[in-house]
Structure 1
Amino acid sequence: MSDIPVIDLSKAPGERAAWDRPRWVVYLWAVCELLFVTNAWQISSGVRVRILRAFGAEIGHGVVFRPRTRVKFPWKLHIGDRSWIGEGVWFHNQDHIHIGHDAVISQETFLTTGSHRHRKDMALITRPITVEDGAWITSRCVVLGGAEVGRSALVRPTTVVSGVIPPGSIVAGAECRVVGDRFE
């Protein structure tokens, strides 16, 4: 028998810790997300944006929002003017996500603001994500809670983004290392 403890998950705090809306609103959002946002049909980007706004998302003018995207809680999503959200992007936003103007979040990128107190009781811990104006997060990246992507920074494909990314830098890899300057 090992001396390493095991956390009793039946006593973990509830799944609704980040909802901050009535149950009916969350369930209605789930249906609308499935029909109008996650739906792979090439429905107008404008329809997706209008549905997200109807549920409280703050989305600027001229935003392109591609199909197959997911948004956990639209009332915690903030996107500036003329930004592009690629196909299959997943905003798992149990906390707020702020995307600046003229920013790009490319296809299949996963942004998650939540984690768990893994050493104690598995309670939910959330931290917001900020992507500043002009930043480009390329395809299949993972952006973790607390990340701050600086103005016009570029994140290469499959990078795990955490911490503060300097403005104008290029970052890459699982350790999210600066590998260059975007505007040399």
Structure 2
Amino acid sequence: MGVSFSESGAEDLVPVVNLSEAPGERLAWDRPRWLVYLWGLTELILVTNPLQVSSILRVATLRLFGARIGDGVIYRPRTRVRFPWHLEIGDRCWIGEGVWIHNQNKVQIGDDVAISQEAFISTGSHAMRRDMALITSPVRIEDGAWIASRAMLLGGTTIGRSSVVAPNCVIGPKATIPANTIVRQNPDLMSTERFSFKGENDSRTSND
């Protein structure tokens, strides 16, 4: 299994996984090696590059490599996408500067979704109690959601319609956030409604 043990004493008899034997690294590529390497170079020049300011060119580049992206999407610099052929983005979305989509499995983003600066979306994990084999599961963000700055979404997570993930929150793995929910890191305000339906003016009394 590629697990070794320290010989320095009983207190150190904790297994260590030989990472060179961990399986599954390239199973998620799903494309020829040359195309993955070509994407890495193209991403650096036309997607991640902070001097490349054109959102239209960035979106066109992602589409060229297999991403499905709708109309009216604003896609900022310093962004990264591991495999564009595993990416779907709906209409009128905002992808903020520094967003990293590490999508070894499918990431689906609905319409009118905002993903703010330096948010991180990862579909991958590892079999940590066995051999560190790669494990992937998709991430889905439904229409109208807002993933705030530096939030992290892990594999198997679904963010419901018009929900908000506050800054620095970690969601998942395999979590489901219901529609119309605000999730905060503060345990006293972990989950509240985004839009109130108790009265016509309730949702207009705060900018929160």
For this structure pair, what is the TM-score category when the shorter chain's length is used for normalisation?
A: over 0.9
Look up the match of 2:125. 115
CA distance in 1, matches of 2:30, 2:58: 22
Structure 1 counterpart SS, 2:25: coil
Look up the match of 2:177. 165
Look up the match of 2:206. none
| Mapped pair 1:147 → 2:157 | yes
Structure 2 residues not aligned, in runs of 5+: 1-8, 197-208
Look up the match of 2:199. none
Aligned residues: 183
Q: Which moved more, 1:42-51 or 1:29-38?
A: 42-51
CA distance in 2, matches of 1:105, 1:183: 19
Structure with higher Rg: it is 2
TM-score normalised to the size of structure 1?
A: 0.95
Instruction: Using the TM superposition, give the Cα deviation of residue 8 of structure 1 relative to its aligned residue in structure 2, in angstroms.
Output: 2.0
Instruction: Using the TM superposition, give the Cα deviation of residue 10 of structure 1 relative to its aligned residue in structure 2, in angstroms.
Output: 2.4
| Mapped pair 1:66 → 2:67 | no
Aligned structure 1 segments of 4 or more residues deviating by more than 3 angstroms: none
Q: What is the percentage of aligned positions where both structures have the same residue?
A: 58
Q: Say whether the 8 Å CA contact 1:57–1:75 is kept in structure 2.
A: yes
Instruction: Using the TM superposition, give the Cα deviation of residue 42 of structure 1 relative to its aligned residue in structure 2, in angstroms.
Output: 4.5
Q: Say whether the 8 Å CA contact 1:159–1:174 is kept in structure 2.
A: no
Q: Of 66, 70, 94, which residue of structure 2 is paired with 1:56?
A: 66
Q: Say whether the 8 Å CA contact 1:95–1:126 is kept in structure 2.
A: yes
Structure 2 counterpart SS, 1:121: coil
Q: Of 38, 45, 57, which residue of structure 1 is paired with 2:48?
A: 38
Q: Say whether the 8 Å CA contact 1:153–1:167 is kept in structure 2.
A: yes
Q: Say whether the 8 Å CA contact 1:68–1:88 is kept in structure 2.
A: yes
